[in-house]
Amino acid sequence: MLVGVGVYYNNPDQDRPSMLEAVDNLYSSLLSSPNWQADHIHVLKAGQATMFNLVKELIWLIRSEKKGDMVLLYITTHGTPLRTPDNLPMDFPPKDEGDGDDEALVMYYGFDRWYDYFTDDMLKFFLRFMQSDGLCMIIDSCFSGGFNDPISNDESKEIEMSKEEEFTKGFLDDISANGRIVLMSCQEEEYSYGSLFSDLIIEGFNGWADLFGNNDGINSAEEAFDFAYPWVVLFSEGKQHPTELDEYSGDFPVTFT
């Protein structure tokens, strides 16, 4: 399942067209490999990428996947610790956040309507029903407005970076489990720059991962991450360092060369 918000209702300043391009490119990359079929891939983009539609698609995914399957879930949007209009932390039931903040992915209406978020608790709830042998989750996201937005002063940087740290650490803690590999575009206290991470991961799936890996004809998630990592660091001038959480035994196969 491939999800790219990319445009945001009533908030064009938050739009990131590169997210939509990344979804299209990843879709093409998967279909170029014989282990993926078009009717097994669902895509949510732009105005269709609402919280309600994401819930529907996750239900489809749960009903469709089974033991022995391998699942890839890609999401790119803004991410943020969930706050009230008064900038107070929000932790929806179950109350499980030590810092009082649920982590959330911003959906199409998210900057205009407080309810169009998808929280870490919601994602964890749906993932618990999956029976597949492996899940590769790729998250290219950071907190609201974090993509390429300039920081005006040191004080704002300190505040925003602490939010980034809360989001990244909390999100990874909540979705980690055996049989899963999670690739995220940046470490805590960092921004994601455009769709740099997505673009390089996709290039890895197109063949570069295995070429720089073990040359067994399989582009694995681990190889794609290892390929992308140094280039992301180089092209971001050392400002962005992707994060990997690997609880999958062995290498997770994504595409075949």
Sorted by where each starts, the structural domains of the chain and their CATH numbers stand as 2-256 (3.40.50.1460)
pLDDT of residue 62: 95
pLDDT tens sequence for the chain (257 residues)? 999 999 999 999 999 999 999 999 999 999 999 999 999 999 999 999 999 999 999 999 999 999 999 999 999 998 777 766 666 555 555 544 444 456 788 999 999 987 898 887 788 889 888 889 999 999 898 642 222 232 233 334 444 445 555 555 555 555 556 788 989 888 766 777 889 999 999 999 999 999 999 999 999 999 999 999 999 999 999 988 888 889 899 999 999 98
DSSP 8-class letter at 204: I
Note the maximum CA span of the chain.
54
Closest CA to 170 of 87, 95, 98: 98
pLDDT of residue 257: 85
CA atoms of 146 and 159, how far apart (whole Å): 12
Task: Provide the whole-model pTM.
Answer: 0.85
Closest CA to 114 of 53, 51, 65: 51
pLDDT of residue 144: 27
DSSP 8-class letter at 151: P
Contact, 1 vs 30, CB < 8 A?
A: no
Give the SS3 label for residue 112: coil
Contact, 210 vs 216, CB < 8 A?
A: yes
pLDDT of residue 74: 96
Which residue, chain included where needed, has tokens 């949510």?
Answer: 44
Which residue, chain included where needed, has tokens 């399989």?
Answer: 218
pLDDT of residue 145: 26
CA atoms of 23 and 72, how far apart (whole Å): 13
Q: Is 65 left (phi over 0), alpha (psi -120 to 50) or beta?
A: beta
Adjacent-strand bridge partners of 70: 134
- The CA-CA-CA angle for residues 165, 1, 190, to 5°, reads 15
CA atoms of 138 and 25, how far apart (whole Å): 14
